[in-house]
């Protein structure tokens, strides 16, 4: 799964990396973005603009928007059929800019946070879905979720799932304003490859969303010889 991530790049870097015309609204670097917070996204409806949505997808048919707090991730293997995500998978896809995300591994009785990054790029795009929910008072709430897939052999010792990363050459395909056939979207859900990821152990201070500072991504200790960590 993917329950926390970082976006520390400035607006200009995000604009250049994703070829955007507008990046209004992005300010301070974030080292601990958490569910239910507003997050920047690039949607299939406005692929040249940075938009902001609440993290935790609320289906259009939901009676209570609180359901979104339990729907921060969508399994890529089933999202095209699952009632909560299938409409978004067909017509409402997005890229979620990031420069790293956290995953927790078990070490004895402890849960140890690991910080995962792309080995080839400082900025990358998480595959996302988005929805627009209308309340009884006609107010609109736009929300999103991050797609996950089965972990590759490098991430598997940490967790059995990992976030789906869309490569730059596939941005256009993922943001196509139409329903994608399985042969089009399935290859996009496979990566990243093991050699495209790096990770390190970081402080348990990231466990609290109240903590949001550069120290959260600093390595804790030194990796043992031959260790993945």
Which of the residues are catalytic? 2, 103
Q: Are 158 and 83 spatial neighbours (Cβ–Cβ below 8 Å)?
A: no
- Give the residue among 43, 67, 39 at the shortest CA–CA distance from 55: 39
Q: Which two tokens stand for residue 42?
A: 């690039």
Report CA torsion sign: 19, 37, 94, 138: negative
Q: Beta-strand (E) ranges in 135-227? A: 140-150, 161-163, 165-166, 197-201
Dist CA 47 CA 118 (whole Å): 22
CB half-sphere exposure, 61, CA atoms < 13 A: 6
Dist CA 108 CA 209 (whole Å): 24
Helix, strand, or coil (residue 63): coil
Dist CA 88 CA 71 (whole Å): 13
Q: Give φ, ψ of 111 to 5 degrees.
A: -110, 115
Dist CA 100 CA 181 (whole Å): 29
Q: Which two tokens stand for residue 153?
A: 């052999």
């Amino acid at each position: 799964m993917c329950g926390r991530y970082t976006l520390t790049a400035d607006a200009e870097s995000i604009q250049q990396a994703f070829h955007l015309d507008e990046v209004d609204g992005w300010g301070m670097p974030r080292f601990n973005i958490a569910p239910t917070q507003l997050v920047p996204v690039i949607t299939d409806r406005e692929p040249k603009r940075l938009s902001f949505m609440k993290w935790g997808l609320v289906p259009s048919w939901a009676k209570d928007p609180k359901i979104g707090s339990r729907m921060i991730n969508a399994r890529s293997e089933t999202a095209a059929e699952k009632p909560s995500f299938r409409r978004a998978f067909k017509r409402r896809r997005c890229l979620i800019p990031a420069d790293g995300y956290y995953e927790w591994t078990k070490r004895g009785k402890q849960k140890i946070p690991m910080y995962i990054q792309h080995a080839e790029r400082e900025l990358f795009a998480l595959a996302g879905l988005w929805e627009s929910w209308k309340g009884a008072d006609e107010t609109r709430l736009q929300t999103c979720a991050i797609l996950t897939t089965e972990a590759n052999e490098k991430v598997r010792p940490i967790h059995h799932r990992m976030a789906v990363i869309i490569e730059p050459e596939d941005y256009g395909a993922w943001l196509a304003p139409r329903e994608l056939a399985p042969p089009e979207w399935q290859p996009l859900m496979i990566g990243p490859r093991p050699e495209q990821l790096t990770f390190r152990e970081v402080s348990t201070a990231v466990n609290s969303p109240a903590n949001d500072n550069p120290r959260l991504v600093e390595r804790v200790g030194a990796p043992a010889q031959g260790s993945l960590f």
